[in-house]
Amino acid sequence: MEGFSELQEASSLFGDCNYGFVCKYTAEQLLKIYRIHKKTGWDIYPDSWEERQIQEALHLDKIPRWQYNTEDKVIALYRDEV
């Protein structure tokens, strides 16, 4: 997806996020987070990601991963913890 339609989708995603979260990042960083969010396969908004997941996404291009724990709660999953 390119151009205007990508901006529209990113705007829609971040419009549903906490305003304080969105204000912490540049437009370039938000687009990067949006693109990585699309690759996760989960419907977890970026403002719910753990800080480590955000930093790894921005600086290492890592796609956040999650799993369900024994109590059926979604938890962050890190490669170095597997």
Tens of pLDDT, residue by residue over 7-64, are: 999 999 999 999 999 999 999 999 999 999 999 989 999 999 999 999 999 999 999 9
Domain range for residue 65? 3-81
Distances, alpha carbon 16 to alpha carbons 22, 36, 47, 59, in Å: 10, 17, 9, 24
- Please give the model's pTM, rounded to 2 decimal places: 0.86
Provide the domain count of the chain.
1
Q: How far apart are CA 62 and CA 36, in angstroms?
A: 8
